[in-house]
Structure 1
Amino acid sequence: MTTTDSADKAQKLARDAVEARLAACAQISAPVTSVYHWRQAIETAEEWQVLFKTTPACYDALEAHLTAAHDYETPEIIATPAVRVNAAYAAWVRAETVAR
């Protein structure tokens, strides 16, 4: 998962990762309000969350891709393991991604 400050940037991050087969799917959530410490101040910003569906084998390549493509100085890139996944869906994700 990552966040960015515009719908257009979220769409580009999502499309590029799926096009590169680093993720089988990317979902963009409507704007969220983030409140956080940054440079000794509390900031509030509207952001778009992008959730990428990928495999453990593709994670490192996806992280590298997002780090290079992201315009944030310190982008949020978080991986959360799936405890259980429908077998057919997991097979689809594996088929749609390529380990790099």
Structure 2
Amino acid sequence: MSNVCIVFCTTDTRDNAETIADALIAARAAACVQIVPGITAVYRWQDQVVKDEEFQLVIKTTQQHVDAAKRVVDALHNYDVPQWVVVDAQHVSAAYGNWVNQELNVE
């Protein structure tokens, strides 16, 4: 098993997505953040069905950096309840795993 994690988080504006991505990289809390535009979210909020356009952040980090990444997101996110879903990568190529760990200074 790898120490690499993928975190899924959404936000409502490209500016917020880029602010979060830039801060995660600057803090070395993530090795890479992909911003995927054009996500449509349908959910219930305060007893109303809501349909919003969102930007998906796909955050590549490690188990050791998940808490630091969450602190960055919590400080910059504009939602009351941001999506935060961590998926542990079961299999990662050696080259990619080494790169992620190198970017995050994991020994």
The bucket for the TM-score relative to the shorter chain is: over 0.9
Residue equivalent to 1:57: 64
Q: Which runs of 4+ in 1 moved over 3 A?
A: none
Residue equivalent to 2:40: 33
> How well do the aligned residues superpose, as a CA RMSD in angstroms?
1.1
Q: Are residues 1:15 and 2:22 paired?
A: yes
Selected match of 1:42 from 35, 41, 49: 49
Is the contact made by 1:29 and 1:48 (CA closer than 8 Å) also made in structure 2? yes
Residue equivalent to 1:76: 83
Structure 1 spans left out of the alignment, 5+ residues:
none
Is the contact made by 2:30 and 2:61 (CA closer than 8 Å) also made in structure 1? yes
| Seq. identity, % | 37
Shift of 1:5: 0.5
Structure 2 spans left out of the alignment, 5+ residues:
1-7
Is the contact made by 1:22 and 1:98 (CA closer than 8 Å) also made in structure 2? no
Instruction: Map Cα deviations across residues 8-45 of structure 1 (whole Å, 9 max, x no partner).
Output: 11111111101110000000002210000100110000
Selected match of 1:88 from 60, 84, 95: 95
TM-score (norm 2): 0.88
Shift of 1:98: 4.5
| SS of residue paired to 1:79 | strand
Structure number with higher strand proportion:
2
CA distance in 2, matches of 1:38, 1:19: 33
TM-score (norm 1): 0.94
